[in-house]
Amino acid sequence: MRRLLLLAMATGLTACATQPKQETAPVDAAPLSLIPMPAQVQRAPGHYRLDAMTTINVAPGDTQAKHVAAQLQGWIRQARGITPAIVEGKGKSGISLATVSSIKGREAYTLDVGANGVRIAANAETGLFYGAVTYWQLLTDPAAQNGVPAVHIVDAPRFEWRGLMLDSSRHFQSVSDIEHLLDQMAMHKLNTFHWHLTDDQGWRLQIEKYPKLTETGACRKAVGPDIALTGGADTPYCGFYTKDEAKQIVAYAAERHITVVPEIEMPGHAQAAVASYPKFGAGSKKLAVSSDWGVNTALYNVDDGTFTFLQDVLDEVMDIFPSTYIHVGGDEAAKDEWERSKTVQAKMKSLGITDEEKMQGWFIARIGTYLDKHGRRLIGWDEILDGDVPASATVMSWRGTEGAIKAANAGHDVVMAPSPTLYLDRLQSTLPDEPPGRPSGQSLRTIYDFDPVPKEIAGANAHHVLGAQVTVFSEYIPTWSRTQHVIFPRIAALAERTWSPKADWNDFVARLPAQMSRYRAAGIVPADGAFAVAIATEEAPGHKAKVTLSNQTGYGTVRYTTDGSAPTAQSTAYTGPFDVDLPSTVRANAFEGGFGLAGPRDREIDAKSLLRRTSDELDMCGDKLVLRLESPNAVDGVRPVYKVDIMDTCWIWKGAKLDGRYGLSVTVDRLPYNYALWKDVKGIVSRKSRSAAGELEVHQDTCDGPKLATIPLAKAKDGRATLDGILPKREGTHDLCFVITGKPGPKMWVLGDVQLR
């Protein structure tokens, strides 16, 4: 598979030059780094070593086996530098691929490795492919330094839907980026690529009958960090896939036994389409493609002309995508325009429909009937349950698991995709070098612990759970490097929970380092936050600081240095909090088997740093809608990231030691406020300000406590600045609450860091 570069350097593997005689050695007990873990694994004595004479053998006329043989040949060449010949018939020594009818299940396979060769058997090409993937993993496992250990594997997946959703509407990915992702999905045995192609912020698929969908709908005004992507505020953010490009992706996925399920949002999340063709919208205002994240209120109309438009679109979608399922969205459809529309209200009255939620049900049912007539099945987000939907409709549950429970118990098939658990735009660690995103953390462990079958689904209905998927909504993921960061390695946790019959977290974590090496060899830069060391500090007596080290998984031995040198496998092992003299630089990493599990993290500690807090280190005053946002403007080549509740600009420094300290410096910045909050806008906290620019107020103990300082924000001149203030002398330890007066929009002030002096 392309991009799966040589793994020998990553894992220290070498190809042996000779084929040994039958071994009588004991069973190799070295753990196997397979992800997902197969259903049944039995170890046996001996190893199989590749050499220049190795062949891949298939039965004459077995085209399915021959196809997989060609794929496996490429993987072996890239992993070991050997290109085994493909032989139709029995070779002298090698790897055999066989299609046999006795193995049940299209994705099932058996894999046998012995001293004399390898045999992969399945009743279909898909099973052979997955067996070849497992053999490739064995081949690229550190346990295979002396050859692949002998093993007998009987394997089949737990669930039929093992997926990943990628949002290409909010931010656009190139065809090559998506192909790179499909490569990795295949090597995790994921089989469903849910492609989110339309939304308020962009229509990304060419529809020949309606060219304005991409002429107009594929571009939006660049706001915030998107300006860096376009090169200027006057250059719009654009991108779409031609029909040929979409077909190329479908074909590329099919080669890897992945089905592409397209999503065309309706009746809401429709602003890009309505901006392109206003006559199909339910509102009276002329709209532009949205540059605001959140819940926009544009809805499709409900007249026959609009349904003709949608059916025409679906005809072209079905021509591109042969998938059984067509995803129609159905989520977050704000009903304001329908409530105000005389046309929609008249239609509801004629149908005898009493409320707008039931009207959405009628809308979705009409689309479902159209898809049924064309041999396709409708799938939508769990809001489609709010009205009558076809019995054949499948529900994708995102508002927690409640929708799936309701749907499965009512006889609908369901796919689990609950927020926040399986939402990869949620940050996976609290490390300060995490990129922007939603900070309600969904760690590797959080995803691994998720069981796709809730106990509330009756046993007789459990079969309705088709599987699960992770979702990558891309508001805060503008680049391919950021996309890699949020997906890898959390994709491995989802893969194991949807494939393997049982879960073992500790065993999974022990298998992950080899998988991280595979990622890097394939050109993927994964997030290492599961293993990276967090460094926490606090003041200690005697001009010292107390340092606490930890890593998220607890796997490996944490080692550190205090002289600024890079930690190694021989550095001091961390056994508990320790004191350092000021100033010091602490660097740390976790090690296993002599290798660092992550990039080393460091922290410079001096008297000043102990009296400084970044917005990441401050608590929020509430949890209305907390985000980590990136500034559109770079500082020394890097765009700063700020944690802020966009509905309540308020931060708390817990337990500030104020004895004899009265100076205060705060860094503030001004960011665009491009959020569509719909009814939640009523929850925005507004504080009375003395001036148009507003002020930063500092309160003692609580946010309603004594006001210690007021710093005018006009001094910042509508941008990033460090402002000074003075606190009245206080004794002891107090919480400090920092609030910004006024109300956000169209820009908002954010707090960067606070320095006490």
pLDDT digits (tens, 9 = 90+) for 103-142: 999 999 999 999 999 999 999 999 999 999 999 999 999 8
- Residue 275 in contact with residue 288, Cβ under 8 Å? yes
User: Exposed (0-12), middle (13-18) or buried (19+): which is 400, by Cβ within 10 Å?
Assistant: middle
| Apex 119 CA angle, 152 and 190, nearest 5 | 75
> Tell me: the pLDDT tens digits for 434-489?
999 999 889 999 999 999 999 999 999 999 999 999 999 999 999 999 999 999 99
Question: Does the domain at residues 611-756 carry the CATH identifier 2.60.120.260?
Answer: yes
Retrieve residue 329's tokens. Answer: 């969205």
pLDDT value, residue 89: 86
Retrieve residue 734's tokens. Answer: 């107090």
Radius of gyration of the chain (CA): 29
Task: Indicate the range of 85-89, 162-166, 469-473, 504-508 predicted with least confidence.
Answer: 85-89
- Is the pLDDT higher at 252 or at 730? 252
Contacts of 684 (CB under 8 A, 6+ apart): 647, 648, 677, 743, 744
- Residue 479 in contact with residue 430, Cβ under 8 Å? no
501 vs 122, 155, 452, 456, CA distance in Å? 19, 10, 12, 19
**pLDDT surpassing 60 at residue 20:** no
- List, in sequence order, every beta strand (DSSP E) within 148-258: 148-155, 161-167, 192-196, 198-199, 202-203, 219-220, 237-238
Residue 306 CA to residue 312 CA, distance in Å, equals 10
- Mean pLDDT over 361-390 rounds to 92
> Tell me: the pLDDT tens digits for 134-157?
999 999 998 888 899 999 999 999
pLDDT value, residue 143: 82
Contacts of 273 (CB under 8 A, 6+ apart): 198, 203, 213, 217, 280, 300
Residue 394 CA to residue 412 CA, distance in Å, equals 6
Retrieve residue 559's tokens. Answer: 């080692």
In the structure, what pLDDT confidence band is assigned to residue 24 with cuts at 50, 70 and 90? low
Domains of the chain, residue spans: 8-155, 161-499, 533-607, 611-756
Supply the angle between the helices 505-521 and 490-499 in degrees, to the nearest 10.
130
Main-chain dihedrals φ then ψ at residue 482, nearest 5 degrees: -70, -35
Domains 533-607 and 611-756 share a fold: no
CATH code assigned to 8-155 = 3.30.379.10
- Mean pLDDT over 198-223 rounds to 98
Helix (H) or strand (E) holding 749: strand 747-756
The CATH homologous superfamily for domain 161-499 is Glycosidases (3.20.20.80)
Retrieve residue 539's tokens. Answer: 């003041």
**pLDDT surpassing 80 at residue 16:** no
> Tell me: the pLDDT tens digits for 663-680?
999 999 999 999 999 999
- Residue 716 in contact with residue 723, Cβ under 8 Å? yes
User: Beta strands 259-266 and 237-238: pairing type?
Assistant: unpaired
In the structure, what pLDDT confidence band is assigned to residue 11 with cuts at 50, 70 and 90? very low
**pLDDT surpassing 80 at residue 102:** yes
Assign domain 533-607 to its CATH architecture: Sandwich (2.60)
pLDDT value, residue 91: 66
- List, in sequence order, every beta strand (DSSP E) within 22-170: 40-48, 55-58, 85-88, 94-99, 109-114, 117-122, 148-155, 161-167
In the structure, what pLDDT confidence band is assigned to residue 387 with cuts at 50, 70 and 90? confident
- Mean pLDDT over 373-380 rounds to 96
**What's the predicted TM-score (pTM) here?**
0.95
Helices and strands (DSSP H and E) totals, the chain: 17, 40
pLDDT value, residue 142: 86
Mean model confidence pLDDT for the chain: 94
> Tell me: the pLDDT tens digits for 484-540?
999 999 999 999 999 999 999 999 999 999 999 999 999 999 999 999 999 999 999
Task: Indicate the range of 586-590, 656-660, 685-689 predicted with least confidence.
Answer: 656-660
pLDDT value, residue 153: 98
Q: Which residues are catalytic?
A: 199, 269, 332
pLDDT value, residue 25: 64
Beta bridge partners of 630: 641
Retrieve residue 130's tokens. Answer: 């997955």
Contacts of 290 (CB under 8 A, 6+ apart): 200, 201, 220, 271, 272, 296, 298, 676
Task: Count the Cβ atoms, other than its own, within 10 Å of residue 570.
Answer: 9
Retrieve residue 324's tokens. Answer: 């059984």
pLDDT value, residue 7: 38
In the structure, what pLDDT confidence band is assigned to residue 28 with cuts at 50, 70 and 90? confident
Residue 199 CA to residue 561 CA, distance in Å, equals 49
- Residue 512 in contact with residue 448, Cβ under 8 Å? no
Residue 629 CA to residue 266 CA, distance in Å, equals 29
pLDDT value, residue 742: 94
pLDDT value, residue 573: 98
Residue percentage of the chain with pLDDT more than 90: 90
